[in-house]
Amino acid sequence: MEAYSGFAQVYDFLMKDVDYDGWVDYIEEIFISKGCKPQTILELACGTGNITNRLSKRGYDIVGIDISNEMLALAKNKAYDLRLDIKYLNQDMRQLNYSKKADSVICMCDGFNYILEENDLLSVLEKVYSLLKEDGVLIFDISSYHKLSEVLGNNVYAENFEDISYIWQNYFDYETNLCELGLTIFKRQDRLFSRYQEYHYQRAYRVEEILEILKYIGFINICVYRAFSFEKIQYKDDRVFFVCKK
């Protein structure tokens, strides 16, 4: 099954404990730290719009792009319920077709880990660079090499709730640096459970690899932070944030 087709139906439930308001607070703290006041934002891999809609509510003119129609349908429904006017586009960011300049481009919740080839990541970041206005800010995070190879990789996780259960079985390949995430989801449908199975693949990038790409493209003032802070990263950090300017 295509990634995020069955998973889209349970994504928000399984992520219900994520502090999305905290994510947006942190994004705004980054804007302040860089001395910028963006009005227009392009969000890649926006998923079900949990960050997109919050930024829109705070007054930003934001466009969300995602590869999954199922995830976007949920994002649009939330925006409609909140009476927010947000453009959501169904695109693979590797074939990003967008021409309007933005003050900031963001990609949250390890969206770039889904780009499995380094050349594709280079291509995406080159396109992002061209879409940013002068002094525009790029903000993104990744699941760290440590997290994908040692925390998730070659481990099994499972949880059982009243209406939803899942088994999450992972395998990490040290030759390709790819982590295969196998998801089996059981969702209650009346008195029975429907079973969904899909596979996700994420690339474990080392910080040095990404820094080399960003510098090659021409980004400046590149900062690498521990998650939700302005501190230097540590080896066992699960999430790493990158912030840079055009």
5/197 Cα distance (integer angstroms): 9
56 and 165: one domain? no
Give the CATH number of the domain where residue 191 resides.
2.20.25.110
Give yes or no for a contact between 145 and 138, defined as CB atoms under 8 angstroms apart. no
103 and 212: one domain? yes
Which of these, 166, 172, 155, lies nearest to 188 by C-alpha position? 166
> Which of the two residues, 5 and 46, has the higher pLDDT score?
46
47 and 153: one domain? no
Domain assignment present for 105: yes
99 and 210: one domain? yes
Give the CATH number of the domain where residue 91 resides.
3.40.50.150
106/118 Cα distance (integer angstroms): 19
46 and 105: one domain? yes
pLDDT of the residue at 98: 93
Give yes or no for a contact between 48 and 16, defined as CB atoms under 8 angstroms apart. no
Answer yes or no: is pLDDT of 24 > 70.
Answer: yes
Q: Which residues contact 173 (CB under 8 A, 6 or more apart)?
A: 179, 180
What percent of the chain clears pLDDT 90, i.e. is strictly above it? 83
62 and 123: one domain? yes
193/164 Cα distance (integer angstroms): 8
Q: Which residues on neighbouring strands pair with residue 225, listed in sequence order?
A: 241
Average pLDDT rounded to a whole number, residues 76-102: 96
Average pLDDT rounded to a whole number, residues 99-109: 97
pLDDT of the residue at 1: 41
Answer yes or no: is pLDDT of 10 > 90.
Answer: no
Domain assignment present for 61: yes
Average pLDDT rounded to a whole number, residues 224-237: 96
Domain assignment present for 1: no
Three-class DSSP category at 89: strand
Run of H or E including 133: strand 132-143
| One-letter amino acid of 27 | I
44 and 151: one domain? no
Domain assignment of residue 27, given as a range: 7-144+205-245
Q: Which residues contact 146 (CB under 8 A, 6 or more apart)?
A: 235, 236, 237, 238
Which of these, 36, 213, 246, 68, lies nearest to 142 by C-alpha position? 213
Structure tokens at 147: 């997290």
pLDDT tens-digit series, residues 171-213 = 999 999 999 999 898 888 888 888 888 899 999 999 999 999 9
Overall residue count recorded for the chain in this entry = 246
153 and 63: one domain? no
pLDDT of the residue at 15: 81
Answer yes or no: is pLDDT of 3 > 80.
Answer: no
Average pLDDT rounded to a whole number, residues 78-107: 96
112/196 Cα distance (integer angstroms): 25
Answer yes or no: is pLDDT of 73 > 60.
Answer: yes
19 and 46: one domain? yes
Q: How many domains are contained in the chain?
A: 2
221 and 107: one domain? yes
| One-letter amino acid of 85 | D
Give yes or no for a contact between 203 and 94, defined as CB atoms under 8 angstroms apart. no
225 and 122: one domain? yes
Domain assignment present for 2: no
Q: DSSP secondary-structure letter at 174?
A: T
Q: Which residues contact 153 (CB under 8 A, 6 or more apart)?
A: 170, 171, 172, 179
44 and 91: one domain? yes
